[in-house]
Amino acid sequence: MEVTEIRLRLRDEEKLKAFASVTFDDCFVVRDLKVIDGTNGLFVAMPSRRMPDGTFKDVAHPLNNETRKMIEEKVLAKYREELEAQGAPAGGTATPERAEIEEPAGPEEVSEEKGAEIEEPAGPEEVSEEKGIEE
């Protein structure tokens, strides 16, 4: 599986730095990954939904740590590249004012973005427990 395209929509918010859409093998896209500036630096959160009890569940996520790391490395590299192209420092603490990197969002993207809640992603051990993966 290969990441063949990454599109970013930069944000000017304290923690949320960008939304990302990642295309795999030119045939499958995952939208609404988030680039978050957390207490330990930048990380990528998978798309998630708020459940009725207030918790969040990932809508899509890697099933192993190797894939999670590969996606995160590529998304963060693209994020830093876009910041440098905009003339901002690539450290993750400053972004240009709501610079749009891709075409304007379609109606489905606008409706999905309105609830941009931020949650720390599940750790590798939590992902493994969720899917019953033995490491």
- Mean pLDDT throughout 42-61? 95
Domain layout of the chain by residue ranges: 3-131
Share of the chain above pLDDT 90, in %: 61
- Mean pLDDT throughout 58-81? 95
The reported pLDDT for the residue numbered 34 is 96
Question: What is the distance between the alpha carbons of residues 129 and 24, in angstroms, rounded to a whole number?
Answer: 25
Q: What's the Cα-to-Cα distance from 64 to each of 19, 21, 42, 59, 83, rounded to whole Å?
A: 22, 20, 20, 15, 29
Give the tokens for residue 62: 């890697």
Fold of the domain spanning 3-131? Arylsulfatase, C-terminal domain (3.30.1120)
The reported pLDDT for the residue numbered 88 is 72
Sheet holding 3-10, edge to edge: 3-10, 16-24, 28-38, 41-45
Given a cut of 60, is residue 56 above it in pLDDT? yes
pTM above 0.75, yes or no: no
